Amino acid sequence: MPRCQNCNFKWSWKDVMALSMKGKKECPNCQKRQYVSSRSTFWTTFLITMGFLMPMNVLRYYYEIGWPLIILAFVIYIPLVLMLTPFLYKLSNTGKRFGKTVE
């Protein structure tokens, strides 16, 4: 689980899920605003996307599985990913989008 950059408080899974939905949240311990780091956002998105697209493309091309199985795999994959992504996040004191600081 990620830790606050100010007080090193370890966030709970529930707090990190709320942070991921809004993009910013106050630390439950020190009340300083924390953001998901831009690097963490990039790598999480990359891993989620490639973790589904690459295997599905291989299965579709080589084994010719149908769209219903791909949709079923997607329906199973998304909740699993949503439960695991908070473990991949790192926190930051500043919010950045495309290299610019956002408040």
So where are the chain's domains? 13-102
Asked whether the predicted pLDDT for residue 96 surpasses 80, the reply is no
Please name every residue paired with 95 in a beta bridge, in sequence order, or none if there are none: 102
Asked whether the predicted pLDDT for residue 101 surpasses 70, the reply is no
**Strands laid side by side in the 24-26 sheet:** 24-26, 33-36, 91-92
Q: How far apart are CA 96 and CA 1, in angstroms?
A: 21
Please name every residue paired with 36 in a beta bridge, in sequence order, or none if there are none: 91
Instruction: Tell me the per-residue pLDDT of 15-54, one tens digit each, with 9 for 90 and over.
Output: 888 888 887 888 888 888 888 888 888 888 888 888 888 8
